[in-house]
Amino acid sequence: MSQIEINPSILSQSANNTVLITGAARGIGAATAALFNYHGANVVIADLAQFQKAAEHLIESTFTNPQRAIFVPGDIVDWAQLTSCFKAAVERFGSIDVVVANAGIMESSPVLDMNCVDENGDLRESTEANRIIEVNLKDDLGAALRLGLFHMKQPSHATSTSSKSIVLVGSTSSYFGGTGVTAYVASKHGVLGLLRASQSTARGLGVRVNGIAPFLTPTHITAGFAQRWRDQGLEENTPERVAEAIALIALDETRQGDCVLVAGKYLRELESSRTKLLPTWIGAEVAEFMGRTMQFFVTIGGYVLPKKY
């Protein structure tokens, strides 16, 4: 598995594109918005209304081209608000070229805490876990995939060479689950499932869908242990480093269905490596059988959905 090198020249392709980023008022989303704007893109910062001042400060103090940026309030679990975000982007800038599904949250208490009981000794429902899965998965499924594909789909007869692109922000937790943050890990595994499941439809609509899998990045989510991580001398990201990787896969027209690991100085593509390793992992015969079964679904036009019951 070879190191991926970021080609700075590819960032020039941002010019005059319109990029919609969810959860972009702070952290990785803010760094990504600033990077795209620096290279001439129109940027739509979609985030909760409570972060409006932070987003406006980001635009005024950090953006190279502030006239090319707007903040649109929207809660990604509210379909009407999400729809309004995309409509506002089109109304202001004419079209959307890139969508980055960056919004995400993590639990503040252990989901599998068996001591979380009520006055009767019954286990309490983890409403926070439900919220995390809803936010982290709805962002990618609703904001990125459904609304992104709807607004960026290319007509079957289109001759345009422009490349529309969606980036799903997953995590190393999309592949590894040993940290114990149960709801977060489950949601990020779901993001990886969305990446894989969306490829056929996205290709048919002329849209590239790729993923990003950042390792530890100092943001509000990792504030509780980031210093101890540094004290151990472990590799860490910066939001700007992750933003560069997001821009790379968003703009690189050769990438479709990739997921790039970002771990400090290390950049690795994971999905193609996984495919190559399948015969070793599950055995050559099983890998060949699974390949034939996938071709079966292609032949019949996709999975035949069951009737409602």
**Active-site annotation holds for 38:** no
The one-letter amino acid code at 232 reads Q
Angle at 206 between CA 215 and CA 213, to 5 degrees: 5
- Which string of DSSP letters, residue by residue, matches the chain? -PPPPP-GGGGGGGTT-EEEEET-SSHHHHHHHHHHHHTT-EEEEEE-GGGHHHHHHHHHHH-S-GGGEEEEE--TT-HHHHHHHHHHHHHHHS---EEEE------SS-TT-TT-B-TTSPBPP-HHHHHHHHHHHHIIIIIIIIIHHHHHPPPTT------EEEEEE--GGGT--TT--HHHHHHHHHHHHHHHHTHHHHHHTTEEEEEEEE----SGGGTTTHHHHHHTT-----HHHHHHHHHHHHH-TT-SS-EEEEETTEEEE-HHHHHHHHHHHH-HHHHHHHHHHHHHHHHTTS--PPPP-
Annotated active-site residue in 175, 184, 266, 303: 184
Residues with catalytic roles: 184
